[in-house]
Amino acid sequence: MKVFTALYGPVDAVERARALRDAGASGVATFEGQHDVFAPLTLAATVGGLDLMTNVAIAFPRNPIHLAHQANDHQLLSGGRFFLGLGTQIRPQIEKRFGAQFEHPVARMTELIAALRAIFEAWETGGRLDFRGDYYRHTLMTPTFSPGPNPYGPPPIYVGALGPRLTRATAEHADGLLVMPFGTKRFLHDATMPAVRDGLRAGGRRAEDLAVIPEIIVSAGSDPADHAATRRLLAFYGSTPAYRPVLAAHGWEGLQPELNAMSKQGRWQEMGELIDDEVLHTIAACGTPKEIAAHIRDRVDGVSDTVCLYQPSPIGLQTLSEILDELRELR
């Protein structure tokens, strides 16, 4: 099993990437948080033996040309080991934090993928760039600004998705699906994968044409106190209406409006108390390295041989190494 794990800010990115590789990780991934999503990967590209992935770069505030150049450069720096993971985020974040447009996110993301492919093709072939869509328009690429063919080929385009419409569109158009971390085995198999199959059929594609990478929240430790941060994280996710379908799959949909009301009151610490053990252990892989590995294997069996570990707080390297060893033992 290939395992991506988190690379945080750029300050110690090289040292952490090297340590994660030596612990047995297959790749490192960054997310759009307190630091730029690309900068740590620029540094980690100097460390051999690791795949690199944005999981995810928020797409709509960025222009496709900017994204194409960043992805192409990281594909060069890494020797063909870069994966461009894109995400939509939610309307308040896009409109209020980024000051960008969010309307029609599925159609916008689908067109963004097409725009990126058109840009990559123009660079690869030297042909004319002539992309005209509803949201993006690119009709000029002079030789001065074209990097030319990438010796490793264009970087693959992955999309993070949860809802059925974006999941179907991703399966129809993208190279890979990044399954959101707030999820469960039931939701993955009963909601996500049927939408994937629908999208593949619509695109005339085969299962092997799409990589599916579930991201799983991991919480190590045998003491209940070890999982307090994970409970707060699940409460934060659960307060968002977009994640209500995951809770509804288990009959927990009433939890979402309760958490949402508490979030609007600023009761962030208290919200974690509503995440009981059943919710915690269904959504997150918790416990010893052996228990965590068993949860991961059970969830993704028949779906994927690659996962991304989401850590509410960084897992110690020794514990991470033990988790990876256990995953290999369960093969």
The neighbour count for residue 329, using CB atoms within 10 Å, is 10
Residue 226 lies in a domain: no
Rg of the chain, C-alpha, whole Å: 20
> Structural domain of residue 177, as residue ranges?
2-219+286-327
Residue 277 amino acid letter: D
Q: What is the pLDDT of residue 330?
A: 66
Residue 271 lies in a domain: no
The neighbour count for residue 240, using CB atoms within 10 Å, is 15
Between 160 and 90, the higher pLDDT residue: 160
Contact 45, 23 (CB under 8 A): no
Return the residue matching tokens 């759009």.
32
Contact 97, 67 (CB under 8 A): no
Q: Cα separation of 129 and 272, whole Å?
A: 50
Q: What is the pLDDT of residue 329?
A: 80
Cα dihedral sign, 25-29-35-41: positive
Per-residue tokens: 187 = 């939701």
Return the residue matching tokens 């928020």.
58
Beta-bridge partner residues of 51: 27
For 231-276, the pLDDT digits (tens) are 999 999 999 999 999 999 999 999 999 999 999 999 999 999 999 9
Q: Cα separation of 1 and 275, whole Å?
A: 30
- Pairing mode of beta strands 176-179, 51-54: unpaired
In the chain, the number of structural domains is 1
**DSSP assignment of 13-53, as one string?**
HHHHHHHHHHHT-SEEEE-SSSS-SSHHHHHHTTSTT-EEE
| CATH number of the CATH domain containing 37 | 3.20.20.30
User: How many CA within 13 A on the CB side of residue 153?
Assistant: 6
Provide the whole-model pTM.
0.95
pLDDT at 282 over 90: yes
Residue 9 lies in a domain: yes
Cα dihedral sign, 198-180-86-7: negative
**DSSP assignment of 115-134, as one string?**
HHHHHHHHHHH-----EE-S
Q: Cα separation of 183 and 212, whole Å?
A: 14
Residue 176 amino acid letter: G
pLDDT above 90 coverage of the chain, percent: 93
For 163-184, the pLDDT digits (tens) are 999 999 999 999 999 999 999 9
Residue 260 lies in a domain: no
Per-residue tokens: 192 = 């996500």
Residue 280 lies in a domain: no
For 116-128, the pLDDT digits (tens) are 999 999 999 999 9
Q: What is the pLDDT of residue 331?
A: 58
pLDDT-based confidence at residue 328 (cuts at 50, 70, 90): confident
For 303-318, the pLDDT digits (tens) are 999 999 998 888 899 9
Q: What is the pLDDT of residue 313?
A: 81
Residue 270 lies in a domain: no
Q: What is the mean pLDDT of the chain?
A: 96
Residue 245 lies in a domain: no
Beta-bridge partner residues of 214: 179
Q: What is the pLDDT of residue 314?
A: 84
Residue 106 amino acid letter: V
Residue 51 lies in a domain: yes
Q: What is the pLDDT of residue 321?
A: 96
